[in-house]
Amino acid sequence: MIRITLELSSEVEEKLRESLVRHDATEMRQLLAEAFSTTVETLLKQASEPSPSNDEFEFIADQLAEEFAACVGSDAPMLSDYAVSRAGIYSN
């Protein structure tokens, strides 16, 4: 499932609310189409950005692991093999 969030300026949001009150479906469609068009352009630009190389990915993953370790501290309990297995994840 892909979730897309439209970020609207307060001006566009207000226009949408006014259109809703007036039951002006045409204006609402136009405002939403313009907002959606901008969002699609942003998504396409993001999709065209190159993926990180394996070395870049490893570097980022190491940084995240170090930041996580700094947040939880050295005395954080380890998860069991079962806890991270498919059966453990999907058990109640």
Question: Which pLDDT belongs to residue 3?
Answer: 75
Quote the CA–CA distance of 71 and 65 in Å, as a whole number: 10
Question: Which pLDDT belongs to residue 47?
Answer: 75
Question: Which pLDDT belongs to residue 15?
Answer: 94
Residue by residue, pLDDT tens for the chain (92 residues) are: 677 778 888 999 999 999 999 999 999 999 988 888 888 888 788 777 788 889 998 999 889 888 888 887 777 778 889 888 999 888 86
**First-residue to last-residue Cα distance in the chain:** 23
Question: Which pLDDT belongs to residue 91?
Answer: 83
pTM: 0.45
DSSP state letters, 28-81: HHHHHHHHHHHHHHHHHHHHHSPPPPHHHHHHHHHHHHHHHHHHH-TTPPPPPT
Question: Which pLDDT belongs to residue 14?
Answer: 93
